[in-house]
């Protein structure tokens, strides 16, 4: 299906290998996402300690995500992706052989954070490469497919695999087996064409380390890019925050089983990856910015509340309702996809720097979400934390009012672009 999809919408065939590589790589990176916090809490850590580990991990992700864009322009995307693989493997081995067995937060935090430095260099490095290699008229579809494979690997394939592997081989062996996915995905993803340099015009001077600061300064030089980065930070903050406390709450307080929780979580992201591709259909009527503001921000604000109140009200009998709410939340998360096309459009001469701000926001999701849980779970409780996240999405909706495109026709190309993607999906079935 993916091959037919890429060919149908006119993307370079060499991009296909990168998509497949990211899909498999992220499956190995994300197989512990939905249950690791609950696992270490049951081994003796507190919710706050788990939140600290995931917050530091998220901070490492944010730094690597920010660096991915400018480093790709300096050293080529392929080299940045390769460096990410090596760093991730080193961090994984240290975390699984030393950090996790020690049950010592002082050892677990830095070793797990090292993993967080690795995967954004691989995946977001490829996203920057897409921003340069994909035809401008197809950029919307290209980034839509990227988020399709990114989320599909991270939060669907990895989660479904974990649900099968956990009862068969246990937690530790499941974690070790993730390295196999990472290696296979890395080999496939790095089989990109040698023409992976993403520098712009050949007569421009080569990028130096001073260009790293462009990945920050551009957010102040162009306030729209800065606001877009904040919105991207809020985008999945709840997704990374909920893994710290919601699995334990739904199992210990509501009474769901671990298999039921994994099914809810996987269903949320299954719906998300479908809507990552279909979000362009919604933007046919509302446009890029409006799609992010209403479908993404406001929709998420509503369903974040319901993901707590529905199971709290109905209890175990509300499993099906909770599943449906989770799916709706996953769909709303997809409403933020147009940001990946908006950001480079706002800075056509500095796409790498603009994408660095976007990637920084994507990485900060993994930092801000767990940090909010760590800071507020004790003083305001789970219900208070839920309202904080919901409020953040309303703030994001307000900010999107100021993120306007310089070219009124840009959204039309994106709409047609995403419609081509949808048509290709239908024909590939």
Between 287 and 331, where is the model more confident?
Answer: 331
Q: How many residues does the chain have?
A: 429
Higher local confidence (pLDDT), 361 or 210: 361
Percent of the chain with pLDDT over 90: 48
Q: Comparing 207 with 299, which gets the higher pLDDT?
A: 299
Report the C-alpha gap between 68 and 83 in whole angstroms: 11
- Confidence category of residue 204, pLDDT binned at 50, 70, 90: low
Q: pLDDT, tens digit, for every residue of 245-275?
A: 999 999 999 999 999 999 999 899 999 888 8
pLDDT of residue 134: 72
130 vs 224, more confident = 224
**How large is the greatest C-alpha to C-alpha distance in the chain, in angstroms?**
65
CA 323 to chain centre: 21
How open is the CA angle 274-277-278, to the nearest 5 degrees?
A: 80
For 56-73, write each residue's pLDDT tens digit. 998 898 888 878 777 877
More reliable by pLDDT, 351 or 317: 317
So what's the pLDDT on residue 382?
94
Better pLDDT: 196 or 5:
5
State the DSSP string of 44-81. Answer: T--HHHHHHHHHHHHHHHHHHHHHHHHHHHHH-HHHHH
pLDDT band at residue 211 under the 50/70/90 scheme = low
Contact (Cβ atoms closer than 8 angstroms) between residue 367 and residue 427:
no
* 173 against 200, higher pLDDT: 173
**Confidence band, pLDDT 50/70/90 cuts, at residue 172:** very high
Are 365 and 231 contacting, i.e. CB atoms less than 8 angstroms apart? Answer: no
Higher pLDDT, 358 or 173: 173
How many contiguous H segments (helices) and E segments (strands) does the chain have? 18, 0
Domain extents for the chain?
16-192+210-418
pLDDT at 2 over 80: no
- pLDDT at position 221 is 83
Which of 99-113, 345-359, 401-415 shows the highest mean pLDDT? 99-113
State the average pLDDT over residues 169-179: 95
Q: What is the mean pLDDT of the chain?
A: 83
CA distance 82 to 77: 9
In terms of CATH, what superfamily is 16-192+210-418?
MFS general substrate transporter like domains (1.20.1250.20)
Quick one: average pLDDT of 200-218? 60
């Amino acid at each position: 299906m993916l091959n037919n999809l890429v060919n149908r919408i006119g993307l370079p065939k060499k991009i296909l290998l990168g998509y497949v590589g990211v899909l498999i790589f992220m499956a190995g990176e994300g197989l512990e996402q939905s249950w690791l916090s609950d696992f270490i809490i049951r081994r003796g850590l507190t919710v706050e300690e788990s939140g600290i580990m995931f917050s530091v991990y998220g901070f490492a992700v944010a730094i690597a995500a920010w660096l991915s864009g400018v480093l790709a322009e300096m050293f080529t995307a392929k080299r940045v992706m390769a460096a990410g693989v090596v760093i991730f493997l080193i961090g994984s081995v240290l975390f699984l052989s030393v950090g996790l067995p020690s049950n010592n937060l002082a050892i677990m935090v830095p070793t797990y954070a090292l993993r967080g430095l690795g995967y954004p260099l691989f995946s977001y490095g490829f996203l920057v490469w897409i921003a340069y290699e994909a035809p401008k008229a197809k950029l919307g579809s290209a980034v839509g497919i990227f988020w399709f494979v990114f989320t599909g690997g991270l939060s669907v394939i990895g989660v479904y695999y974990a649900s099968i592997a956990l009862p068969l081989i246990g937690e530790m062996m499941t974690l070790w087996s993730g390295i196999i996915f990472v290696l296979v995905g890395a080999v496939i993803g790095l089989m990109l064409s040698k023409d992976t340099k993403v520098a712009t015009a050949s007569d421009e001077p080569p990028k130096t380390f001073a260009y790293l600061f462009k990945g920050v300064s551009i957010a102040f030089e162009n306030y729209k890019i800065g606001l877009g980065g904040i919105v991207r930070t809020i985008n999945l903050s709840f997704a990374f925050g909920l893994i710290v406390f919601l699995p334990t709450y739904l199992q210990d307080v509501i009474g769901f089983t671990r298999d039921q929780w994994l099914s809810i979580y996987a269903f949320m992201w299954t719906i998300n990856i479908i809507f990552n591709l279909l979000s362009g259909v919604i933007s046919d009527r509302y446009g890029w910015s409006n799609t992010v503001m209403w479908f993404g921000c406001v929709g998420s604000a509503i369903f974040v509340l319901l993901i707590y109140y529905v199971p709290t009200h109905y209890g175990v009998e509300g499993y099906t309702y909770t599943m449906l709410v989770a799916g709706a939340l996953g769909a709303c998360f997809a409403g933020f996809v147009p940001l990946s096309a908006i950001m480079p459009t706002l800075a056509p001469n500095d796409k790498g720097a603009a994408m660095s701000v976007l990637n920084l926001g994507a990485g900060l999701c993994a930092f801000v979400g767990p940090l909010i849980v760590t800071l507020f779970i004790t003083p305001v409780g789970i219900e208070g934390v839920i309202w904080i996240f919901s409020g953040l999405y309303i703030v994001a909706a307000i900010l999107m009012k100021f993120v306007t495109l310089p070219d009124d026709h840009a959204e039309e190309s994106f709409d047609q672009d995403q419609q081509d993607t949808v048509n290709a999906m239908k024909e590939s079935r």
